[in-house]
A and B are shown apart, each in its own frame.
Chain A
């Protein structure tokens, strides 16, 4: 037996290393010290071990290279004990290792390695290695040595700190891979040893202490870099051709993803290391090929038999995703194993099973969405064809709603655009975005009761939130507001409960920290919701009001102030996220249409019974929703302490939401409110929370009562819950959560605006049926205007700027009152080519006639009575579509003073506007086109400042060849809009430039989520 100690300018501890070798109880141990730094350790060695030999390997680079120096000398011993210079062996380590090596005929054995200063803390117990040569410790960080690893086991690799190797094997393998300076050489060596048919074994009974402080000794923190390089090298040299062909593309993909993640989290150094690993190995491709040839010669075992010992999956990806440092990777496999252990025992099993089933439920229920996409029913408007288009329109700052109005699009548009431009198709983004809203809500429901510490309660809240009919009702009704509210309501409820500071939601942090943290989270959740559906921010007030009432009812008034303060503190973050909207609001003044979505406060059709059942309708399955009463009431009946108090709070949240919904449906409010599903979302979150509270009450409180009626409630509640879960299966039937299979666009045929000229479409119908947020016109009738032949997400929101909305409304009113027979002429001046009256949510046969809410007869008859609106016969029974025979393109060339004599909008009734030549037909602004001389250009947009046309006339080319653009004069036209008067022919460009503050708001609004995400990620990583 020869101990080979590779020393590299060791410190004082080296004495202890040498002493430990000298004190070994193994009788035939010789010691060779390889001086890798030519630092003169010979004297020190000879002082402690007189017969030790010292080899000067000053030219060697790295541990592997230095260790291989032993091969130059004559080795007669059967075993080599390769050691670092910072280990100290227990006296029986060598003998134990040798005994085990001989007993199990192992080629490589290694001891249990503990911390140098804290021998009770485990440092290494061998490595598990995945197929990408990435090692993972078999012990957790700071794992206490409780003899749990004292057995003998096969492992894939052992750390090179202390390795007992058969000398013949070491020589056969050519020692370590000298190309691997530090880190990774041990994995490579053990891999090759196994290829050569040797076992690699961990011997827990043998112990060595290890300093493992290479970074401070070298002064260079290159651990991450060298690990990445050497892992890739080991993989490249040791895998067979087939497995390498399969694994290399996968590794490349994972590396790409890791780079993206690192860049996103501002870890540019880490991203560089990943890229550098590939570059480093590609540069050494010839060496790698050579080593592959060498390895092929030593291979005695089938590749499959070796890789079977490797970890299936990517330990590296796992570590990246879990955002832990390389150091914390220690224990990775251990924690992974604990999860699997958890699957076999304990509550973790229930959590995993529940989540798998819940996600399976969601995926199966959404299967038609995944395979066929989401129909553009009601709020589920399509996205533009490309992400670039979306980004352009976002940056343009102009909305085509209201006849054109300045509007800052919300920041979410940017992210959708970036996703569409960079990764996926817009349709895919839309589909998965919708599904992710569902998952986000479920995740929120699961976390709602996390503070209680009961996994069972969390799981029950999760399942209850899934089983509640709110989500299917929202989806089937095409209510994006309802779905967004479903996604955020449990999060908002959780944050507000945290902000209330009531047990068990008290945080361990100090008061101000807790308040700041809760308020920030609250602002973020509310802001993110408002970025999609602004009205969803109002849920904060609904939930807070419910919690306030609940706190008072529970006799805990002290939390009311905390709640109010948190809501106030949340405002800055919320304001940052919704800055574009706030700036619009300040610039244009409030417009309740923004919130009411086309409702005017008139009574609806949903009864209080249906409201209590989350608008589930009246079919048989819907009546089973009443069974939720059992688990919801249980904590009130048997709960004690904070369970009872929180149950009261949650009940009051539910009642507040139900009350608000009832007020809206009764028509007692002087203003309209958003979708019913949005109003009911807090009640659903509270109901899910109450179901979880029922479990907590059973767990904690039932035992305090003697046997009686309370105990009987438990099986009753369980039975009710089972029935509810069973009944929820009906929602899976369609694979679309009941959403119509097709939308109105499948029935409507619009001419191409590119070919025929730009136009608008006037949509009139029930607010729930419109493909956009509408303006209220009458009871349950709203209207909206879209631009071109499709309605996209950008058409959805109502801008605060009223634009020319009153003109559209006045025309509709005249039609309804029989005040005109020439609505087509009036609408033509507004660029409206089509009028669509929606009687149902979707076209037939995708919607039932029984669900129709026809346009009021007066309005429908009025439309039919127009002499210049042509009803398109046979369109669909769900819609009435009119073509405006008096239509003229919104943007067109006209002779000068084409609108002479029109001084009032009403003049169009008796003066039909002549048809001009269509211009600027594509998406915009901006647009450009060649025009002839002596024309005016009509641009039917609300004439707000910022519109500008420049002319690059043929005769404006300067002698030096430079062009100079002339700003074209603008005048009012058609009594409401604008026309431009170019002085000559040439190329004109029409653009809209929003004011700087609006753009700044957009940028800040868009950047804030990114910044918050970065801060959050950094904090998570740091933690």
Chain B
């Protein structure tokens, strides 16, 4: 009896402990609270969104800031606009409420609230995800630069390609740093130019202030200069302004948000080649000592076109530039978009600038082709000469739903009366076909299919005619995540930017 009890007890206890050991062998279930992906492009996906417009100058400055707010919904909306001005002490933002009609737009001139300041930015707080906020910069000389404002802040930023040849090309390169928070931010800026390196250390951005860093004063006569901004304390929203007026650099103003981080894959939906057009892709490698091997892939619209990628080697802390107009492989392939892919896992940033100097569009598209035109080379059917420049940051994310504010007439912002543009949709997937529905004001205008790793360009002018409005917002609803960019083409200026992703974006690196 005693012996059997002892054996039962020993085996029972040993068995239970062994069971515990075995149960604990597999990995434990972990909560799926992975870090939320923060996209580089504007992504007003929440019920409440804050837009950061790093801004421009006051009326007397070189790039006067105007905020354009577009309501893509059928409901009236209100937004709160807080104007942040430049200054050395903590700011006290001036706030105002702006009401928008259904499908309406509103222009806000921040300098009205802060008339005497040199530089000004804005924070726009919305309580819905169907409001899009753009910043429009009007150059003193001529031209408009426009880009969507940011929906995020970050502690490191990269601006890949600027220029400071003030004397010859009339170039001026300005970094706009906006600190929306109630505590001071401190940033270090490293400038890498073709003529050498410079840095600004310990730059203080007071609480709720805007600071403009005129790189032209720091690095003079540089054909290309990249800025690596590291925010040591606090976080910032950063954009940049490039003004030019020269024979090579063209004339006009362009602005774009800086890249808030690095990634191994970037999409540049708005790109092209053509007479007088010079698109330059800039790939920066902010790492301290790793060389990035990058392929610049061409995602042509034509399914039959296969183009080998452009191979780049980007040294640590440097920027590689690729002038698409010099790439023979791109001739005659029609419209395309680009993807910059790091092959050795070194994270980079990518952006594209486009300059058009006194070009003449000769190949007019047929009426029937306007809806699905051949590409940016043929954009601007009514325009004889389109001079100006544009810049687009890369997209490291994709979304299923996009909103793209469009203006087919620049009447309120310039003397020009006619403008056009194109919408580019990129399918980043290597295997899936995407069906995308393009609608304006709820009315479906197009439904297109886009093959794997292909892009599609749609003309915006006809859409404006369909809805009989100059300003409207295009909604893109795709069956799978896509990247959407736009290019607006006026008589005196060009601008390009990504759309706003209104459904939670995912990293393009994860799309197979």
Contacts and interface: CB of A to CB of B under 8 A. Distances in A.
A651 B24 contact: no
A655 B183 contact: no
Interface stretch (B8-16, B277-285, B370-378): B8-16
Given A644-B9, A666-B23, A817-B46, A885 B35 contact: no
A644 B6 contact: yes
Given A817-B46, A819-B47, A870-B183, A667 B29 contact: yes
Nearest to A860: B35
B451 interface: no
Contact of B180 (A611, A641, A665, A867): A867
A58 to B, nearest CB: 80
Contacts of B23: 608, 662, 666
Interface in B15-33: 16-17, 20-21, 23-24, 28-31, 33
Nearest to B12: A553
B153 interface: yes
A636 B6 contact: yes
Contacts of B2: 640-641, 644
A122 to B, nearest CB: 48
Contact of A868 (B24, B47, B182): B182
Given A644-B2, A818-B46, A651 B31 contact: no
B503 to A, nearest CB: 14
Given A607-B24, A871-B183, A553 B46 contact: no
Given A636-B10, A857-B35, A867-B180, A655 B16 contact: yes
A909 B48 contact: yes
A817 to B, nearest CB: 7
B74 to A, nearest CB: 21
Contacts of A778: 31, 33
B182 A603 contact: no
Contacts of A554: 5, 9
B6 A553 contact: no
Contacts of A641: 2
B123 interface: yes
B9 A655 contact: no
Interface string B168-183: 0000000000001111
A779 B31 contact: yes
A655 B23 CA distance: 14
Given A667-B29, A870-B181, A818 B80 contact: no
A659 B153 CA distance: 47
A637 B14 CA distance: 13
A652 B17 CA distance: 11
A872 B80 CA distance: 26
A611 B24 CA distance: 11
B182 A870 contact: yes
Contact of B50 (A611, A637, A821): A821
Contact of A871 (B12, B123, B234): B234
A648 B4 CA distance: 13
A864 B235 contact: yes
Contacts of B5: 554-555, 644-645, 648
Contacts of B13: 636, 648, 651-652, 655
A651 B9 contact: yes
A822 interface: yes
Contacts of B31: 602-603, 778-780
B36 interface: yes
Interface in A593-613: 602-604, 607-609, 611-612
A883 to B, nearest CB: 8
A458 interface: no
A668 to B, nearest CB: 8
Nearest to B38: A861
A245 to B, nearest CB: 66
A909 B79 CA distance: 11
Contacts of A869: 182
A640 to B, nearest CB: 6
Given A867-B180, A871-B234, A910-B80, A666 B24 contact: yes
B233 to A, nearest CB: 6
B301 interface: no
Contacts of A820: 46, 48
A665 B35 CA distance: 23
B297 interface: no
Contacts of A866: 181
Interface in A637-688: 637, 640-641, 644-645, 647-648, 651-652, 655, 658-659, 662, 665-667
A121 B46 CA distance: 93
Contact of B24 (A636, A662, A865, A910): A662
Interface string B142-162: 000000000011000000000
A822 B28 contact: no
A856 B33 contact: yes
A602 to B, nearest CB: 5
A554 B13 CA distance: 12
Interface in B122-140: 123, 125, 127
A662 B48 contact: no
Contacts of A637: 6, 10
A873 interface: yes
Contacts of B234: 871
A372 interface: no
B10 to A, nearest CB: 6
Interface in B215-239: 233-235
Nearest to B27: A603
A592 B261 CA distance: 42
A640 B5 CA distance: 10
A858 interface: yes
A778 B33 CA distance: 8
Contacts of A819: 46-48
B30 A603 contact: yes
**Most chain B C-beta atoms within 10 Å of own C-beta, residue among A814, A819, A821, A885:** A821
A666 B20 CA distance: 11
Contacts of B80: 910
A909 B46 CA distance: 14
A689 to B, nearest CB: 15
A111 to B, nearest CB: 59
Nearest to A824: B182
A867 B233 contact: no
Contacts of B10: 636-637
A743 B207 CA distance: 31
Contacts of A909: 48, 125, 127
Given A820-B46, A861-B38, 19 more contacts: A553-B9, A608-B20, A640-B2, A648-B9, A655-B16, A658-B20, A662-B24, A666-B23, A666-B24, A666-B29, A821-B49, A856-B33, A857-B35, A858-B36, A865-B153, A871-B181, A871-B234, A872-B183, A910-B78
| Shortest 10 CB-CB contacts between residues of A and residues of B | A779-B31, A608-B24, A821-B50, A603-B28, A870-B182, A870-B183, A885-B182, A857-B35, A858-B36, A648-B9
14 contacts: A636-B10, A645-B5, A655-B13, A662-B24, A666-B24, A817-B36, A817-B46, A818-B46, A819-B47, A867-B182, A873-B183, A910-B78, A910-B80, A910-B125
Interface of B: 2, 5-6, 8-10, 12-13, 16-17, 20-21, 23-24, 28-31, 33, 35-36, 38, 45-50, 78, 80, 123, 125, 127, 152-153, 180-183, 207, 233-235
